[in-house]
Amino acid sequence: MRKQDSSQRLKNFLQKDFTPYLVFAIPLAFLVVFLFWPLITTFLRAFMGAGAKMDFSRFGIDNFTKFFTSPLYQKSLKNSFILSISVVVFSVLIGVPMGYIVARVQIPGKKLLLSLGILPVIMPSFVGAFSWIILMGRQGVARHFLNIVLSPLGITIPSIYGMFGMIFTMTLTFYPFVFLLSYSSFSSANPLLEEAAMLMGAGKWRIFWTITFPLILPSLGAACLLVFIRSIGSFGIPAIIGGEEYVLPTLIYFRVNGFWDLNGAAAIAIVNVIITGAVLILQKYVVNKRKYETISASRSEQKLYSNAGVKILSSIFCIIILIVSLAPQITIIVMSFFEKWQGLFPQEFTLANYIKIPSASKTELGNSLYLSLIATFFTAILGSIMAYITERRRPKGAAILDLAIMAPFILPGTVIAVALLSAFSGNAIIPLGGTFTIIIISYMIRRTPYVYRSVVASLTQLDPTLEESSTIAGANWFYTFRRVSLPLILPGIISGSILTFSTLLQELSTTILLYGARTRTVPIQIYSAVADGKMGEASALSVILLIVVFIIVYAMNSFQGNKMVNSFKLG
């Protein structure tokens, strides 16, 4: 009896469909080698004495005690909190109304608004921060003219340096996450619910607060989380605009570049990860507290406001926000046609910055496109499979997998690059130093969250019964995946890939530690030009990147409607 039982079990085992396990094993192996290993070394480093060496004899928590003893660390921690929370609040105040307007008011040029709306996020931060100084610094041209206009009212605009300037510029950089995401929920929320409330005699505000707002809360929570992560991790804006208001990334930069103290930097980075982890849990708690009406497949037309007054006011609001938030991009386009910009106005008009691009940047442009494309392609595969595993199979430890995939998104690029270099250069078993491969791998592990989150979001909205019925009807796993799941999550994959590609095109912090002579990219060239004081050249190259990204995003918006914003979902 017992024997028969076990042979039966063996038989069952052999008859099982192994394709999913094979498909899952390969990306998991990739993650173990290229993600877990760097994460573990980073974690261990944080507990070692100052320096760059992994030295187990100096194991301790010295790197962390600084947060209790040093006023510098405490002030920076406090600044990071104030900054990130303020940026989240202001992004909501700007982004939600804008999302509501574009979704619910009949205004022209929505596709353009949505495409331009994403551009502030994808600006190389060191060029962006500098153009804010050209505009709003003590000698800033915008500030100068605003002061002339406002002087009869007795108002003077302060210069941009300090906490206020950081909150201002960061909000204008990161609000698009809130704008695009709330736009997508406002436009896809089931209008029947609102109509029902209206029929029962509820006022407009009451409907908004009791029906519409709860409907967008999950997306809003995800957007806030993303804004929080991005602002607590940003170094470029605090370095240029912050003045003496240091934040955690400033400290990390000091430890790495001033003292070659990777271990100290790792400790600060881990504090950053812990804070973000706490916010992630808080966000999940707030969003999951209630059960929400999900977006249904069948939908009735949404009623758009067509009142002329509302239309005009809404358009003006959106245009003002868009122009102000795109001011750095406009500045850079202007600057790219000039030699320098030292006072109020740029000087010495020239086309030379563009004319030399084909000869001076051919390899770099090719490399940037090649590296970003290949990395995006593999990221799409990796991210979708991982999302499928955590969302559908829900293995034990899915939460750990989840956090591990998210961690490189939060950790500074330098820390990831160093972990990869230590593991895969020198006398390593797999020597990758100076190759295209090591850059592609670093891109993959740093950007997988975009595709991953996007696909997880698609899968949660997708009822598993569809897949179950396919299996019941006799299809094997692979057929089901290919014919049922994949087509349904494809928009999520595509939108995640777009974000991955656009942000990779401008990646600097990892690339600068990993690139070799053959693998130089455009952002490295921009960095070099900025360091050598050639702002015109740097601007022209940035404009080329902006144009590439804009074309792609506009094409995607035309092609697949608002699905693009799904990739921001982090819930």
* Interaction of residue 435 with another protein, rule CB under 8 A: yes
Q: Minimum distance between the CB of residue 566 and another protein, rounded to whole angstroms?
A: 23
Task: Find the binding residues for another protein in span 261-320 (CB under 8 A).
Answer: 262
Please give the Cα distance from 76 to 164 (Å, whole number): 15
Other CB atoms within 10 A of residue 462 CB: 18
Q: Is 189 exposed, middle or buried (0-12, 13-18, 19+ CB in 10 A)?
A: buried
For 347, the 3-state DSSP assignment is strand
CA–CA separation, 107 and 521 (whole Å): 40
Number of chain residues interacting with another protein (CB under 8 A): 77
5 binds another protein (CB under 8 A): no
Residue number with CB closer to another protein (174 or 246): 246
Minimum separation from the CB atom of position 529 to another protein (A):
8
Token reading at 538:
């740097």
Which residues within the stretch 467-486 sit at the binding site for another protein (CB under 8 A)? Answer: 478, 482
CA separation for the pair 446, 413 (Å, rounded): 8
Interacting residue with another protein among 515, 549, 556, 564 (CB under 8 A)? 515
- Cβ–Cβ under 8 Å, residues 304 and 106: yes
244 belongs to the binding site for another protein (CB under 8 A)? yes
| Closer to another protein by Cβ: residue 38 or 491 | 38
- Which residues, numbered 30-49, are part of the site for another protein (CB under 8 A)? 30
Contact call for residue 366 and another protein (CB under 8 A): no
Residues present in the chain in total? 571
Region 153-212 residues binding another protein, contact defined as CB under 8 A? 159, 161
Q: Tell me how many degrees the CA angle 332-333-339 measures, rounded to the nearest 5.
A: 75
Of 108-116, 220-228, 257-265, 399-407: span binding another protein (CB under 8 A): 257-265
Stretches 178-186, 253-261, 458-466, 488-496: which one binds another protein (CB under 8 A)? 253-261
Least gap, CB of 333 to another protein (angstroms): 20
Q: How far is the CB of 540 from another protein (least distance, A)?
A: 15
If binding is defined by CB under 8 A, does position 362 make contact with another protein?
Answer: no
Asked if 459 and 388 count as a contact pair (C-beta separation under 8 A), the reply is: yes
Pattern 379-418, another protein, x by CB under 8 A = --xx-------------------------------x--xx
Is residue 568 at the binding interface for another protein, with CB under 8 A as the rule?
Answer: no
Q: Which stretch binds another protein (CB under 8 A): 192-200, 218-226, 241-249, 457-465?
A: 241-249
Decide: is 437 part of the binding site for another protein (CB under 8 A).
Answer: yes
Identity (one letter) of the amino acid at 427? N
Cα 523 versus chain centre, distance = 18
For the chain, how long is the longest CA-to-CA vector?
98
> Closest approach of Cβ 13 to another protein, in Å?
19
Nearest approach in angstroms of CB 96 to another protein is 32
Contacts of 187 (CB under 8 A, 6+ apart): 103, 104, 302, 562
Q: Is 88 in the site for another protein (CB under 8 A)?
A: no
Is residue 530 a contact residue for another protein (CB under 8 A)? yes
Q: Given the structure tokens 């239309």, which residue do they identify?
A: 311
Q: Produce one character per residue of 47-79: b if its CB has 16 or more CB atoms within 10 Å, e if not.
A: bbebebeeeeeeeeeebbebeeeeeebeebbeb
The answer to the question of residue 100 lying near another protein (CB under 8 A) is: no
Does 531 bind another protein (CB under 8 A)? Our answer is yes
Question: What are the b/e assignments for 413-435, b being 16+ CB within 10 Å?
Answer: bbbbbbbbbbbbbeeeeeebeeb
Instruction: Scan residues 122-141 and list those touching another protein (CB under 8 A).
Output: 133, 137-139
> To the nearest whole angstrom, how small is the minimum distance from the Cβ of residue 527 to another protein?
8
